[in-house]
Amino acid sequence: MPRRSALARSAHLRSVKRIAILASGSGSNAQRLIAHFQGSSTAEVVLVAGDRPDAGVFARAWDLGVPSYRFTPAQLQDGTVLRELRALRVDLVVLAGFLRLVPTELVQAFQGRMVNIHPALLPRHGGRGMWGHHVHSAVLAAGDTESGITIHRVNEHYDEGEHLFQARCPVLPGDTPETLAARIHELEHAHYPIVVESLVNSMRHP
């Protein structure tokens, strides 16, 4: 195989988009995203960052060889996190179970380049305090016969940015928040990496 020139190599490296994942929890979505892009010529996950030092996501990142960055709520607010993302030349921020509201400055710096996944069919069951089992309990309490996932751009409000993708699943008789969560997680794992990849492709070939 002919060797690529230094110029071609550097053009290739520039076209590989750099993803940072923000997460607060166990990190099963982060793990799928990292694995999906390992060895990809489209994008790579260059950082896993979060506000909960003991969150499971950090162990998963470690196992997969991705650098981690733990920050405090104050650092999220005062611009330290934004500076870190800029220093790493991050192109796209992917929230995967990140529980804090993203400050305006960070949202604006990554306008159109920050996405979130929500474990329900927005606009139902979204907003402040609606995360994890709270969402699934609300779906069951409302008597909904279906739920699903929403992948959306991030703006200054919880769960309100433009929808990019939804997938549905049934709510079954006898479901508990746990059984519903497991069904939703399967949907998330199947779709989030693919939707992020198509977003990356639209950034590479606008």
The residues binding ligand GRF (CB under 6 A) are 23, 25-30, 96-97, 117-119, 131-132, 188
Of 36, 118, 152, 191, the catalytic one is: 118
SS3 48: strand
Nearer to ligand GRF, 16 or 64 (CB): 64
Nearer to ligand GRF, 119 or 193 (CB): 119
How does 135-149 read in b/e, with b if 16+ C-beta sit within 10 Å? bbbbbbeeebeebbb
Which residue's Cβ has the minimum distance to ligand GRF? 97
Q: Quick one: which of 17, 195, 22, 198 has its CA closest to 90?
A: 17
Residue whose token pair is 């991030």: 154
Report DSSP letters for 53-97, one per residue.
Answer: TT-HHHHHHHHTT--EEE--HHHHHTTHHHHHHHHTT--EEEESS
Nearer to ligand GRF, 79 or 132 (CB): 132
CB of 103 to ligand GRF, least distance (A): 18
CB of 206 to ligand GRF, least distance (A): 28
CB of 66 to ligand GRF, least distance (A): 14
Quote the CA–CA distance of 156 and 164 in Å, as a whole number: 17
Contact assessment for residue 98 and residue 188, using Cβ atoms and an 8 Å cutoff? no
Nearer to ligand GRF, 14 or 58 (CB): 58
118 is catalytic: yes
Give every CB contact of residue 192 below 8 A, 6+ residues apart in sequence: 29, 32, 33, 96, 117, 149, 151
CB of 23 to ligand GRF, least distance (A): 6
Positions annotated as catalytic residues are 118
